[in-house]
Chain A
Amino acid sequence: MLFLFYFILCFSLVIFQTTVSSMLPPFNKFYNLQIPFVLCLGLFRPLNEAVPVIFFLGFVMDSLSGAPFGLYITTYLWLFISVRWIAIYFDSNSILLLPFVVVGGVLIENFIFLGFTGILDPDFRFLAPAGKTVSWQILWALGTGTFFILFINNLYKRLDKWLKKLLV
C-alpha cells in the first residue's frame, strides 16, 4: 500500500513537471516540485523507505529528461544527504525553517545541474536569463515550498494512521 502511494505521488509529480508546468504560464519558472518531496523524505521518513523511492523518482526523471543519465538520481541523493545532515542540527518540525530548506534544495539542484554543465563545457557561461530563472525558482520556493512540505507530511500522517488501523 505504501509503495502504491509512492508510485501515485511520484507519477503525479512527474506528470505535473513535464506537462502542466510547461503549459501554464504562471508555472513556467516554477522549481522542480520533486524537491520538497525529496526533502520531506529526508526529514520525516526512515532511510530504508526513502532511498528506494529516491532512486525510482530519479530514474523516471532521468529517462524523461535530455540530461545525462544519472543526473537526477545524483541530485536527489545529494538533496537527501544534505537534508538528513541538517536535521541533526535543526528542528525539522520548525515551520520557520522549512522555506529556507526548500530554497536550499532549489539552490543545490541548480548548483549540481549548472556545475555539471560547467565541468563538461569549458565555454560555459552563467547567463543573465539563467540567473533570472534561478531567481524565479527561489521566489516560488520561498512562497510555496513550506505548503508543499506540510501537505506531503500531512498525507504521510493520514496514510500512517490508516495503515495502523488496517493492521489492527
Chain B
Amino acid sequence: MFSKKTLIAVGLVALIAANIIALSVNNKRNFPSNGTGRIVIFFVAPFQDLFTRSIRFAGDVWNHYFFLASAAKENDRLKKALTHAFEQNNKYKEIELANSRLRNLLNFKETVSQTLLAAEVVGKDPSSWFKSIIIDRGTDDGIKKGFPVVVSEGIVGQVIDVSSNYSKVLLIIDKNSAVDALVQRTRARGIIKGDLADRCHFKYVLRKNDIKVGDTVISSGLDGVYPKGFRIGQVSGVARFNSGIFQEVSVIPYVDFEKLEEVLVVLNPPKHDFGIK
C-alpha cells in the first residue's frame, strides 16, 4: 500500500515527534530525583573529586615554583591593594557602627541567620549549553534537594540532585534556573533567568519601574528557595520598547562561575508551603 521510502519518512517524523514530546515532558517535571541518577553521581563523583584535586595540586605546584618571577610583581600590586583595603575597611567599620546603632534604635531583628556548609566543586557540566556543578557534600552532610548554594559574592544556584556524599547544583546562569529578585535601590521585582552567555536576564520587570545600569539585583526570598537579600548581580543593560508592558534588563552575576572552586550550602533555607498541604 505504501512505498518503503514513505514508511521510513513517516517513521522518522514519528520518532522525532515522540523524542521531542518525551524530552519536553521530562523538562517540565522540574528535575525529578530518580534513584538511578544518584547512583551515577555516587560512582562518578569520587573520581571527579580525585582528578580535580590532582589537577589543582599540579596547578599549585606550577604556580608556586615556576612562576616566582611574576610573584614579585604580584606582591607590589597586592601591597597597593592592601593599603586601599585598609582605607575601605576603616570606612566600613564606621558604617557598621552606625548601622548597629540604628538597628538597636529601631529594634530590628537580626535577619541573617542561615547555617552554611562549605563544599568544594569537584565537577562541571559536560555540556557548554547547560550549567551545573557537582559538589563534595551530600545527604550525609544534611543537604537536601532544593537547598540554595551561595558564595560571598552572591547566589550560585540550587541543589537539584543529591547522593550520600555528592550533590548536583543547577547554576543561576542555566536557562532552566529562575530566581525571584528585586532591584536593591527601587525594589522593582522580576525573575532572574539564565542565559547561554553566562549572563542573566531580569524578566517580567514592569516598564514603569526605574532601573539603571549599575543597580544591584538581590534575591527577594519570595520563591521559597533563596533567602531574602542575597546579592545576584549588577544591571548591565536596560531596554524599554515602545510596546509591551515589560522592559528588557540584562544582569551580570557577581559570581565568577568559571572560577568557582568552593561554595556554601544554606542548610536552613526559608520554608514556604504556599498553602500546599
Contact = CB atoms under 8 A, between A and B. Distances in A.
A19 interface: yes
Contact of B123 (A64, A110, A129): A64
B127 interface: yes
Contacts of A59: 36, 40
A116 interface: yes
Contacts of A20: 51, 55
Nearest to B12: A81
A118 to B, nearest CB: 10
Given A19-B52, A70-B26, A64 B40 contact: yes
B26 to A, nearest CB: 5
Contacts of B134: 18, 64
A2 B51 CA distance: 25
A92 interface: no
A119 interface: yes
Contact of B197 (A70, A127, A137): A127
A74 B25 CA distance: 14
Given A18-B134, A60-B40, A117-B175, A68 B127 contact: no
B176 A66 contact: yes
Interface stretch (A9-17, A42-50, A143-151, A156-164): A9-17
Interface in B183-203: 195-198, 201, 203
B265 interface: no
Range, interface on chain A: 35 or more
B92 interface: no
B32 A69 contact: yes
Interface string B191-228: 00001111001010000000000000000000000000
A22 B40 CA distance: 20
A65 B26 contact: no
B1 interface: no
Question: Chain A: interface secondary structure?
Answer: helix
A113 B129 contact: yes
Interface in B112-167: 122-132, 134, 160-161
B40 A65 contact: no
Interface in B36-87: 36-37, 39-41, 44, 47-48, 51-52, 55-56, 59
A121 B174 CA distance: 12
Contacts of A110: 129
A64 B20 contact: no
A40 interface: no
A124 to B, nearest CB: 8
A11 to B, nearest CB: 7
B197 A18 contact: no
A24 interface: yes
Contacts of A133: 128
A54 to B, nearest CB: 14
A28 to B, nearest CB: 8
Contact of B55 (A24, A70, A113, A128): A24
Contacts of A121: 175
Interface string A103-118: 0000000100110110
Nearest to B174: A66
B131 A63 contact: no
B166 to A, nearest CB: 10
A66 B132 CA distance: 5
B131 to A, nearest CB: 6
A113 B195 CA distance: 14
21 contacts: A11-B44, A18-B48, A18-B125, A22-B124, A23-B55, A61-B126, A63-B37, A63-B40, A63-B41, A64-B126, A64-B134, A64-B168, A66-B168, A66-B171, A67-B127, A69-B32, A69-B34, A70-B23, A110-B129, A120-B27, A126-B196
Closest 5 CB pairs of A and B: A66-B132, A63-B40, A68-B27, A22-B124, A63-B37
Given A67-B129, A67-B130, 16 more contacts: A15-B44, A18-B134, A19-B122, A23-B52, A66-B131, A66-B171, A68-B27, A69-B26, A69-B37, A70-B23, A70-B26, A117-B129, A119-B24, A126-B196, A127-B195, A127-B197
